[in-house]
Structure formats: structure tokens, C-alpha cells
Structure 1
Amino acid sequence: MNLLAIGAAIAALTGIGAGVGIGIATGKAVEAVSRQPEASGKIMQLLLLGGALAEATAIYGLLVAIMIIIFKP
């Protein structure tokens, strides 16, 4: 049981990586908009796409953690 809990906790930690990644991407997007305000539309589109992909990994990690807890091997 202890190894299952550790595995679920490690899988749930993917949310930290996604949060850090989105934070870095947002900071870089703000820098890019401050340098080139006319390109803000394109920059925001790319930021939203990158944020969605980063959050997808966090959701997959959460699903794996839930599956480890519910479907104990």
C-alpha cells in the first residue's frame, strides 16, 4: 500500500511542472509583448496553445494518480 501511495504522489506532482512551465511561458510572453506590442495577438495565441499543452500533461498525471489509487494492482 505504501508504494501505491508514493506512486500516486509522484504522478500527482506533474501539476508542479505544468505550473512552473506556464509561469515561465507567461513571463516570456509579457516580455515579448513589451518589446513588440503590435505582435500581441499572435503571441497570445501561442501562449494559450502552450498553456493548454502544459495543462494536458498535468491532467494526465492526475488521471494516472487516480487510476493508481482506484485500480490497485
Structure 2
Amino acid sequence: MSKLVRIVLSVAAIFAVAGVASAAEAGAVADASWAKYIGAGLAIGVAALGTGIGQGNAIKGAVEGISRNPSAAGKISTTMIIGLALIESLAIYALVVALILLFVA
């Protein structure tokens, strides 16, 4: 199992146990308002990570393509800019979801 998977599973286990460990009484209902902050933070964090990796791969591919065929630089750059705009829109969608989690839920 890779190191990243082990870290993610460990963090998930800690979050799962934290609610039980911090319970006040046996019959009390725990206030879970903190969960929406964690959910919003994770939503935008994972989206930023994913879009950053996607943009890096897109730029890497464009630079490699231009270095192999410099005469196609115009078409490659145009396609790359459109692709980067679409990738960035995914981060904006994640931001909207995070804001909905914070203020509506």
C-alpha cells in the first residue's frame, strides 16, 4: 500500500473516532457544526490539489509539444489556454460547493 493511501486512511480514522472520543455524555447530542468547516476545507483543498496537478500536466504536455514541433506553437498554446480555463472552472465549482457547505448546510 502506498504511503499516501496510508496517510489518507489514517486521517479518515482519526476523524471517525474524534466524534466518539469528544462526546460529553452518553445521552447528549453532539454539536456537529464543526463538520461543515472540515468538509468545506477538504472540498476546496482536494479541488485545488487536483486542478494544480491537472494544470501542471497540461503545461508540461504543451511545452513538450512545442519543443518537438515549434511550428505548431500557436495551435498548441491556444488549445492549452482553453484547457487551463476549463480546469480552473472545476476549482471554481469546488469553491461554490464549499461555500454552499458553509452557509447553506
Q: TM-score, normalised to structure 1's length?
A: 0.90
Deviations 1:4-62 (A, max 9, x none): 11210121120111111101110110010000000001100110111011000000001
Q: How many residues align?
A: 72
**Which residue pairs with 1:58 in the alignment?**
91
Q: 1:10 aligns with which of 42, 56, 62?
A: 42
1:48, 1:69 → 2: CA distance? Answer: 32
Provide the aligned C-alpha RMSD in A.
1.0
Question: What pairs with 1:1-73 in structure 2 (closer than 5 Å)?
Answer: 1-13=33-45, 14-71=47-104, 73=105
1:11, 1:62 → 2: CA distance? Answer: 8
Higher relative helix content: 1
Tell me which stretches of 4 or more aligned residues in structure 1 moved more than 4 Å. none
Unaligned runs of 5+ residues in structure 2 are: 1-32
The one-letter code of the counterpart of 1:68 is L
Q: TM-score, normalised to structure 2's length?
A: 0.65
Identity across matched positions, percent: 40
Secondary structure of 2:98's counterpart equals helix
